[in-house]
Amino acid sequence: MNLHEYQGKEILNSFGVRIQRGIVAQNKNEAVAAAKQLTAETGTGWHVIKAQVHAGGRGKGGGVKLAKNLEQVEEIAGQIIGMNLITPQTSAEGKKVHQVLVAEDVYYPTEGGETKEFYMSVLLNRSSGRNMIMYSTEGGMDIETVAEETPHLIFTEEIDPSVGLMPFQARRVAFNLGLSGAAFKDMTKFVSALYKAYVSSDASLFEINPVLKTTDDKIMAVDAKVTIDDNALYRHRDYVDMRDLREENPIEVEAKEVGLNYVDLDGNVGCMVNGAGLAMATMDLIKQAGGEPANFLDVGGTADAKRVEEAFRIILKDPNVKAILINIFGGIVRCDRVAQGVVDAYKNMGDAIKVPIIVRLQGTNADIAKELIDNSGLDVQSAVQFQEAADKVQAVIG
């Protein structure tokens, strides 16, 4: 589950990680009130207005701006809320901004002090099965670019799960980032708190870019990209409400509600498959047959009429779909039952289905299933072999 910056920061703050403080606002009046409150609480003169959407690169698209007075807070918040923010990580249409974070200015001057930006993330190293902290002196930049151009400036600390993050590792982070004095000490505290927050919140990704050293040597998270492990959400009921469905693809949300694993894609051939690996393989085969997959859809183990019907409805919400390929390997689930499900769903939906359908059923009772489809009188083509199905897809999309 992906979170907004303001939600991620709330979680960090609850575990003692210092953050750039801010208040979320839904409209420009709330933004002004938030700015006043922040000034009262933190003494900040200027404010940073930050679009809250699930996409990186917000600054590049004009979604992060500095306001030097309350008039500017109102003006900028008014501009950003409601805009379609286009960043390198969104589609060409961009993402609609529903709310902004009004944050304190943390780049204030201090006599003789200077700011420095770092990069830090916490994530799983799949190869070792352990968590790691990845960090770099090159903060505020796209980390992939850093990895490509100056890989020697990226460091990692792998955490032994038997003991957790050790003090020497926190010190090494601070040393590698070139810190000394008060900033060094504060960084060791920051890293320890950050790792504790990661483990305690069952996160699967923390990305803090930038981590800022202020002119007066405080270390804080200025941004926060936080992803929580969906499988662990049952341990964090208070986080469940943080899900912002407006940020997710509406068809995917609907699919999830009926228990289908669906990913919306740009192509013209819809597909309905049992099992994630076979679903991906089916998408690949559609491409090789000259089409483009319109979706990934795993119907799971029980492909009965109700489920097939739900899957049809989800797939047909995409107007680009010109054909649907159903690919089921019947194991424990018998193919004839799936075929009956397809026939029943098709009949129930009446005229809603206006595109050709190719059904490939293989495994238990595949022959009976093929007969059932062929004798149904419906505009459904059947196949038994994988390649045969691909050829039929090719034929219908021309």
Partner 1 sequence: MSVLVNKDSKIIVQGFTGSEGTFHAGQMIEYGTNVVGGVTPGKGGQTHLDKPVFNTVKEAVEKVGADTTIIFVPPAFAADAIMEAADAGIKVIITITEGIPVADMITASNYIKGRDCRLVGPNCPGVITPGEAKVGIMPGFVFKKGKVGIVSKSGTLTYEAADQVVKQGLGITTAIGIGGDPIIGTTTKEAVELLINDPETECVVMIGEIGGQLEADAAQWYKESGSKKPVVGFIAGETAPAGRTMGHAGAIVGGSDDTAQAKKRIMRECGIHVVDSPATIGIKVAEVLG
Q: List residues with catalytic annotation.
A: 119, 207
In whole angstroms, the minimum distance from the beta carbon of 159 to partner 1 comes to 9
Residue 234 makes contact with partner 1 by CB under 8 A: yes
Binding mask 61-100 for partner 1 (x = CB under 8 A): ----------------------------------------
Q: Work out whether 347 is an interface residue with partner 1 (CB under 8 A).
A: no
| 210 binding partner 1? (CB under 8 A) | no
Please identify, using beta-carbon distances, which residue of 46 and 329 lies nearer to partner 1. Answer: 329
166 is a site residue for partner 1 (CB under 8 A): no
Contact flag: residue 286 with partner 1 (CB under 8 A): yes
Is 194 a binder of partner 1 (CB under 8 A)? no
Closer Cβ to partner 1, 75 or 264, answer by number: 264
71/257 with CB nearer partner 1 = 257
Three-state SS string across the chain, please? CECCHHHHHHHHHHCCCCECCEEEECCHHHHHHHHHHHHHHHCCCCEEEEECCCCCCCCCCCCEEEECCHHHHHHHHHHHCCCEECCCCCCCCCEECCCEEEEECCCCCCCCCCCEEEEEEEEEECCCCEEEEEEECCCCCCHHHHHHHCHHHEEEEECCCCCCCCHHHHHHHHHHCCCCHHHHHHHHHHHHHHHHHHHHCCEEEEEEEEEEECCCCCEEECCCEEEECHHHHHHCHHHHCCCCHHHCCHHHHHHHHCCCEEEECCCCEEEEECCHHHHHHHHHHHHHCCCCECEEEECCCCCCHHHHHHHHHHHHCCCCCCEEEEEEEECCCCHHHHHHHHHHHHHHHHHHCCCCEEEEEEECCHHHHHHHHHCCCCCEEEECCHHHHHHHHHHHHC
Query: Taking CB under 8 A as the rule, does residue 118 contact partner 1?
Result: no
Q: Is the Cβ of residue 263 or residue 349 nearer to partner 1 in the bound state? A: 263
Q: Which residue from 43, 277, 377, 398 is in contact with partner 1, where contact means CB under 8 A? A: 277
58 is in an annotated binding site: yes
Nearest distance, CB of residue 148 and partner 1, angstroms: 9
Residue among 263, 316, 368, 378 that touches partner 1 (CB under 8 A): 263
Confirm or reject binding of residue 293 to partner 1 (CB under 8 A): yes
Decide: is 130 part of the binding site for partner 1 (CB under 8 A). Answer: yes
Note the residues at the interface with partner 1 (CB under 8 A).
56, 121, 123-127, 129-132, 134, 143-144, 147, 160-162, 199, 202, 204-205, 207, 225, 227, 229, 231-232, 234-235, 263, 265, 267, 273-278, 280-288, 292-293, 296, 329-332, 362-364, 385-387, 390
